[in-house]
Amino acid sequence: MRQSKVKQKWKEGAVALGTLVKSIDPVHTEVLSQVGFDFLWYDLEHSDKSVETFSNLCRASRIGNVDILARPARWETMRMGRLLETGAQGIMYPRCETAEEAKEVVRWSKFHPLGERGFDGGSADNGYGSYPAGDYTATANRETWVTIQIESPAALPNVCEIANVEGVDCLFFGPGDFSQLSGRAGDVMGEETLLAAKQVAEGALASGKVFGTLVFDLDHAKRMQDIGAQLLVYSADIVLYRNAYQTLLEEFHEFELVD
């Protein structure tokens, strides 16, 4: 198995930076895997990606040096093993609200003795049968990482219990869902949302776990780093793609090259 770039960053006390990739074209993954990100995040909760499509994107990522973080939908515990088998190093589980739910995530994403993930040694994450079962399962448990998302006000009282679950590596605050579930949709950097992020960070760090979150500009990233974040997601390919072409058109209009 490949060693996790993200987990190595955490061991060094550094921040792991990633971005959301919405494109299903493997060319985009090939390019982004080589530019220096620590991980690329693929969302199978909200998008139309199938496991087969995701498998091809994972394959494309191996041209570079980058971790793949996959998010299934809530309760899709059996799907997590398949995402890991295709080559994901990290699982991001959404909308978790209790320690019992977090334990189920660990149960299905880690091999014995940490969990009960099903065994298939012939998949991509074991080099298609390249390593003995004992080496494969031990390495998978060590190199894969479980990120639990805290996205609702109902989850805040349980943050410390969730962080204390063995096998959970990171608590990831989701400002988008938190703000809309609080009745303030889009208020991702409002005072209440920032206070919730700080509460999640404190709970994660108190348990010796990593705190992560989405960031929306460099000032916000610095603020999250200051409260202990070591996993940051910034922007998305489709957003940067759109902004780049908007800027291009504005420049052409400014120089009166087009009407």
Q: Report whether pLDDT(164) > 80.
A: yes
pLDDT digits (tens, 9 = 90+) for 21-46: 999 999 999 999 999 999 999 999 99
Question: Which CATH number is 106's domain given?
Answer: 3.20.20.60
In the chain, how long is the greatest CA-to-CA distance? 66
Q: Report whether pLDDT(1) > 90.
A: no
The answer for 218, left when phi > 0, alpha when psi is -120 to 50, beta otherwise, is alpha
Answer whether residue 209 is part of any domain. yes
**How sure is the predictor about 76, in pLDDT bands with cuts at 50, 70 and 90?**
very high
Answer whether residue 104 is part of any domain. yes
| Of 213, 111, 216, residue with least CA distance to 170 | 213
**Structural domain total, the chain:** 1
Pair of tokens at residue 2: 């490949």
Percent of the chain with pLDDT over 90: 95
Whole-angstrom Cα distance, residue 126 to residue 132? 9
Pair of tokens at residue 89: 């190093």
pLDDT digits (tens, 9 = 90+) for 79-131: 999 999 999 999 999 999 999 999 999 999 999 999 999 999 999 999 999 99
Identify the pLDDT of residue 259.
73
Identify the pLDDT of residue 173.
98
Q: Residue 148: which domain range?
A: 5-254
The set of residues, in sequence order, having a beta carbon less than 8 Å from that of 79 and lying 6+ positions away, is 44, 51, 72, 73
Answer whether residue 71 is part of any domain. yes
Answer whether residue 259 is part of any domain. no
Instruction: Report the pLDDT averaged over residues 3-8.
Output: 97
**CA angle (58 as vertex; 162, 151 as ends), nearest 5:** 25
The set of residues, in sequence order, having a beta carbon less than 8 Å from that of 240 and lying 6+ positions away, is none
Could you tell me if 120 and 85 are in contact, meaning their C-beta atoms sit under 8 angstroms apart?
yes
Percent of the chain with pLDDT over 70: 100
Whole-angstrom Cα distance, residue 14 to residue 115? 28
What letter represents residue 77's amino acid? Answer: T
pLDDT digits (tens, 9 = 90+) for 50-64: 999 999 999 999 999
**How sure is the predictor about 258, in pLDDT bands with cuts at 50, 70 and 90?**
confident
Answer whether residue 167 is part of any domain. yes
User: Residue 54: enclosing H or E segment and its boundaries?
Assistant: helix 51-61
